[in-house]
Structures are given as structure tokens and as C-alpha cells.
Structure 1
Amino acid sequence: MVSFKRYQTKSGSRWMFKVGIGADPITGERRNTTRSGFKMKREAQEKCYELELELELELELEIKERGNIFKEKELTLKKFCGTWLEIYENERYNPWVIPRVNK
């Protein structure tokens, strides 16, 4: 979530933005960051976009470091569905889904 806001200083009006940067891994609470001091809203939007791209790249690197649950390069639909079912059976599910899928 992003929000832009105009505020007043002695030297004139400025723009700021507040953007969500994900959840804290320990507490699970939302984390936000604020950047301010932009003369124009367009400047704030550009910096916000740059920050979001940077955060996306960091997230992609984090995912790559954890690894992929599907290690094989040649993954068939049958193998994918089997792995998905194993994971899904351990999570919450409607009991009627599994029998229909296994048919």
C-alpha cells in the first residue's frame, strides 16, 4: 500500500510517501517506510517506484536463496499435482476435494 501526502514547511510545500515493505518475520506485523522532502508529487512517485523495484529484487533474491521445492528441471503435471496434494493434505482443506482429485 502506498500513500502520498503534501505537507507544509517554512520554505513551501513538500511531498512525502509511505509504502508497505512487508511483514516482520518475527512478529508478523506490517512494516512501513516513509520518505519525504520531495518538491513535486512526481518526484515522490518516481522514488517510490524505485524503492518498490528494489524491494522486489531483494524478495526475489531471498526466494532464490531458500531454493525451489521443485528441484527437477523436467516437471510433469502428474509430479506437480502429486507434490501439491502432499502439501495440501497437510494443510487445511475440504475433505471432499482430495477424493475427487485422486480419481
Structure 2
Amino acid sequence: MVLLQVDYILGDNPLRMSYMVGYGSHYPKRIHHRASSLPSLSAHPARIGCKAGTKYFLSPNPNPNVLVGAVVGGPNITDAFPDSRPFFEESEPTTYINAPLVGLLGYFSAHP
């Protein structure tokens, strides 16, 4: 059962989408994560204040910085995934989502 859930997270689901950022060719591009949704210092060396970040947060463009390996909340109850920063329940990578997956993958790696 656990392997089926890992497979689902990595793309064996109705949308054929990996919910791990950067894994496969179809993954979330607009995640709810400040550092990955703002331009890098080399692209925008000036300070970006909290309120000034709103235009990046609301932008329909993909995040300029790919947070490879982060797992987002995933689809809603109808298996839809809006891939939009304001839908934080689906698009935010959190420690309580990522930590158990790291543990599971570590276990599977040690016990093939």
C-alpha cells in the first residue's frame, strides 16, 4: 500500500503529474514558496519587501527558482491540482509532507 502511495506522489495518478518538484517532466511549476517564487539576487539585486512580493505571488508565470525535491500538498479531493501559488493547500511544500516521504524512501533504499 505504501509503495502505491509513493508511486501516486511521483506520477502514477490521474493527472500523470509528479507532486515532487523537478521529478519527471510534469510537476508543479507555481509552488507556494517565497524563495522559489521571487527572482534571484542576480536577476533582481534590490531588496524585495513583503508587500512588493505580491506581484510575484500572484504571477501566473512558473517559479523562477525550481525547488527540486520538494513535495507539495498535492491534489484536492476531486484529484484536481490548480498549480497556483494562492492555492497553498495544494501547492505548498511543508516539512510535515516532506519528512515522512524522506523516511519512506530512505527505508526503501535500505531494504530493496
TM-score of the aligned structures, taking structure 2 as reference length: 0.25
The structure where strand makes up a greater share of residues is 1
Higher helix content, 1 or 2: 1
| Structure of higher RCO (CA pairs closer than 8 Å, 6+ residues apart) | 2
* Rg larger for: 1
Q: If the length of structure 1 is used for normalisation, what is the TM-score?
A: 0.26
